[in-house]
Chains A and B, each alone.
Chain A
Amino acid sequence: MRIRRAAVLLLLLWAPGAGAMTIERVTSPAGIEAWLVEDHTLPVVTLRLAFTGGAALDPTGKSGLASLVASLLDEGAGPYDAAAFQTRLEDLVTTLQFQAGLDDFSGSLRTLKRHLKEVEELLHLALTAPRFDLNAIERVRSQIVASLTQQAQNPRPLSKRLWMRDAFGDHPYGQNTEGSIDSVRAITREDLRGFVTERLHRTGLVVGAVGDLSGAELASFVDGVFGELPRGTSDAELAEARATEAGALQIMRLAVPQSTVTFGQAGPKRDDPDWYAALLANDILGGSGFRGRLMKEIREKRGLAYSVSTALVSFRHAGLILGTVATENARVAQSIALIREEWRRMREEGPTESELDDTKSYLIGSFPLSLDTSERISALLVEMQREALGIDYLSRRAALFGAVTLADVRRVARCLLDPDGLSFVVVGDPTDLAPSRTRPASRF
């Protein structure tokens, strides 16, 4: 049944100019807005919510606060201690998770229609009356410390974190979302409570829901969950940040047989008028799978790596083009030289007409396939609101790519891609490479 519905959805999205799935704007009696894709195929409701302001607003010395709160909201609330709350969720066959990003604090929920009322109460309790029992705090803190300890030995997250720290320096974007072992240990119960009172408010709240509920049912649900939250005011705005473009090459020595490299530089933010041209330039250069030029040069022609890709990363106050590759220790320099060379070639020559056409049709046509679950659709509903894309975005998306010309992509590639400003962080034991700066092994 569901399969047929999804197929119809895809056809609608593919049909040029056709309206995609219907997104309804619901405003609750208490004045809370939520976007809804109503779909009664399965008795399932999926909901995603996001508060503005995330880990980048963590106080100095307490980085990891938002993340610790996220891990603790489902560890006991109201009359339920951690075990009772988890058992309740299991009995209602409901998944409820919270997550802190740099710019927002989000939650996701999946439940069955018949449990919606009970789940409304649980989510309401989690957001307004989390218990923060001391034994739960200590248990979750130990789990996070263990995870940070593991990450410190894991080249991929390590190289990305080092890259972010070097690119943003003292700006909060340079902080690890999960914090450091020391900062996580410094967080108190009062800090956790303070976060909930100060940060979980209605200003900037965004909600997206998909599934077996009507607009009226969603309105009643959001009022039940968020109605009592303080109205709040906009959170303190961070300063705009720009990744440094020092063109540095740093090595963190780790005794592993293969090196992992994170590389990148400043890029456009999501609201940049050239966003779609930049997406196309990025995908032609470093698209994942076998699309990008980097993949052709580094994997297909030379077998240096299984994968190499780049992506545009847009934060609220900074944009990046960020890539990653992992290769054997003796051939890191070769991979890096190839990346710089492809960066230069794309900057100077831009893409060909056929590369641009292929990439446009890929980015337009693959999009509906990425919306094959309610969770992905509800995440999209939140992103559309968060980025102010407009409720009609899905019907305009193909045209936004279509309107980009070869001249646009060439112009954007010229200002986006600077091979000399491209910075690399290598984690591993490269044998063919001299750093411009070697980082001592650091403790996170």
Chain B
Amino acid sequence: MLADILGGGAGARLYKSLVLDRGLALSAGAAYSAGALDLSSFRIWAMPKGDVPVSDLEAAVEAELQRLTRDGIGPDEVRRAAERMQSASVYAQDSLSGPANIIGAGLAIGQSLDEIQSWPERIGAVVPAAIDAAARSIFVERNSTTAVLLPVRGS
């Protein structure tokens, strides 16, 4: 839910701030892979617009992370994220391979069928304080790595 609120789409915090409000980026988002046995990775990305320096972009991402860990996430934001994610689980059933993948991937990391099927209810039960705690535990600078891909010189 943290990834969805921070960077799940064009209505999420990073896109709104970096792309729409400040015009620093062409795209921005975040993702978290929940389907892992061990620690997973929480990824954040952005592509600068025109000549915007990468350092400005990094600073803008940093500011959003600080705002999030400092001010927390409001109950309304959490409620809307829960509804989006629960609806996504409805859409996921509109496919032959989708449910098979979800169930197979869940079983492969030791989840029970009950756990897989009750995912929407458990998403609905997440409280803002739990997301705030997740943010504080994930967004720790010494745990982070940044990669910058630059164009080939002269192209």
Residues of A within 8 A of B (CB): 1-3, 6, 42-44, 46, 82-83, 86-87, 89-91, 93, 110, 112, 135, 139, 142-143, 146, 153, 369, 372-375
* Complex Cα gap A369–B95 (Å): 10
Most buried by A among B9, B20, B83, B96: B96
**Does B44 belong to the interface (CB within 8 Å)?**
no
* Complex Cα gap A153–B11 (Å): 31
A-B CB proximity, top 5 nearest: A93-B87, A90-B11, A372-B96, A86-B10, A87-B11
B contact residues, range: 20 to 34
Collect the chain A residues with CB atoms within 8 Å of residue B21's CB: 83
Collect the chain A residues with CB atoms within 8 Å of residue B16's CB: 83
Instruction: List 14 interface pairs A-B (beta carbons < 8 Å), by A numbering.
Output: A2-B94, A6-B96, A83-B16, A86-B9, A87-B11, A89-B11, A90-B11, A90-B80, A93-B88, A112-B87, A142-B49, A146-B49, A373-B95, A373-B96
Asked, given contacts A44-B94, A372-B97, whether A90 binds B9 with beta carbons under 8 Å apart, the answer is yes
* Complex Cα gap A1–B97 (Å): 14
Collect the chain B residues with CB atoms within 8 Å of residue A6's CB: 96
**Does B101 belong to the interface (CB within 8 Å)?**
no
Residue ID in chain A nearest B21 by CB atoms: A83
Asked, given contacts A139-B19, A139-B23, A142-B26, whether A44 binds B95 with beta carbons under 8 Å apart, the answer is no
* Complex Cα gap A3–B95 (Å): 8
**Does B110 belong to the interface (CB within 8 Å)?**
no
User: Do residues A42 and B90 form an inter-chain contact, with CB atoms below 8 A?
Assistant: yes
User: Do residues A93 and B83 form an inter-chain contact, with CB atoms below 8 A?
Assistant: yes
Collect the chain B residues with CB atoms within 8 Å of residue A372's CB: 95-97
Collect the chain B residues with CB atoms within 8 Å of residue A135's CB: 23
User: Do residues A2 and B99 form an inter-chain contact, with CB atoms below 8 A?
Assistant: yes
* Complex Cα gap A153–B149 (Å): 14
Collect the chain A residues with CB atoms within 8 Å of residue B152's CB: 153
User: Do residues B93 and A2 form an inter-chain contact, with CB atoms below 8 A?
Assistant: yes
Residue ID in chain A nearest B87 by CB atoms: A93
* Complex Cα gap A71–B85 (Å): 25
Collect the chain B residues with CB atoms within 8 Å of residue A89's CB: 11
Collect the chain B residues with CB atoms within 8 Å of residue A3's CB: 96, 99
**Does B50 belong to the interface (CB within 8 Å)?**
yes
Collect the chain B residues with CB atoms within 8 Å of residue A82's CB: 20
User: Do residues B94 and A42 form an inter-chain contact, with CB atoms below 8 A?
Assistant: yes
Residue ID in chain B nearest A46 by CB atoms: B94
* Complex Cα gap A6–B84 (Å): 25
* Complex Cα gap A374–B95 (Å): 8
**Does B69 belong to the interface (CB within 8 Å)?**
no
* Complex Cα gap A83–B10 (Å): 8
Asked, given contacts A139-B23, A143-B26, whether A42 binds B49 with beta carbons under 8 Å apart, the answer is no
Collect the chain B residues with CB atoms within 8 Å of residue A83's CB: 11, 16, 20-21
Q: Which one of B26, B83, B91, B96 lies within 8 Å of A44 (CB-CB)?
A: B91
User: Do residues A110 and B91 form an inter-chain contact, with CB atoms below 8 A?
Assistant: yes
Collect the chain A residues with CB atoms within 8 Å of residue B83's CB: 91, 93
With both chains docked as a complex, state the minimum distance between the C-beta of B122 and any C-beta of chain A, in angstroms: 18
* Complex Cα gap A322–B21 (Å): 43
Collect the chain A residues with CB atoms within 8 Å of residue B88's CB: 93
Given A44-B94, A86-B9, A93-B84, 10 new contacts (CB under 8 A): A42-B94, A83-B16, A90-B10, A90-B80, A91-B83, A93-B87, A112-B87, A139-B23, A146-B49, A372-B95
User: Do residues A146 and B26 form an inter-chain contact, with CB atoms below 8 A?
Assistant: yes
User: Do residues B93 and A42 form an inter-chain contact, with CB atoms below 8 A?
Assistant: yes
With both chains docked as a complex, state the minimum distance between the C-beta of B14 and any C-beta of chain A, in angstroms: 13
Collect the chain A residues with CB atoms within 8 Å of residue B94's CB: 2, 42, 44, 46, 373-375
Collect the chain B residues with CB atoms within 8 Å of residue A42's CB: 90, 93-94
With both chains docked as a complex, state the minimum distance between the C-beta of A343 and any C-beta of chain B, in angstroms: 35
With both chains docked as a complex, state the minimum distance between the C-beta of B102 and any C-beta of chain A, in angstroms: 12
**Does B47 belong to the interface (CB within 8 Å)?**
yes
With both chains docked as a complex, state the minimum distance between the C-beta of B15 and any C-beta of chain A, in angstroms: 8
Collect the chain B residues with CB atoms within 8 Å of residue A44's CB: 90-91, 94
Residue ID in chain A nearest B85 by CB atoms: A93
* Complex Cα gap A6–B88 (Å): 19
With both chains docked as a complex, state the minimum distance between the C-beta of A305 and any C-beta of chain B, in angstroms: 25
Collect the chain B residues with CB atoms within 8 Å of residue A373's CB: 94-96, 98
With both chains docked as a complex, state the minimum distance between the C-beta of B16 and any C-beta of chain A, in angstroms: 6
Collect the chain B residues with CB atoms within 8 Å of residue A110's CB: 91
Interface string of B22-38 (1 = CB under 8 A from A): 01001100000000000
Residue ID in chain A nearest B96 by CB atoms: A372
* Complex Cα gap A89–B84 (Å): 10
Collect the chain B residues with CB atoms within 8 Å of residue A369's CB: 96
Interface string of B66-81 (1 = CB under 8 A from A): 0000000000000010
Q: Which one of B20, B80, B99 lies within 8 Å of A91 (CB-CB)?
A: B80
* Complex Cα gap A44–B89 (Å): 11
**Does B145 belong to the interface (CB within 8 Å)?**
no
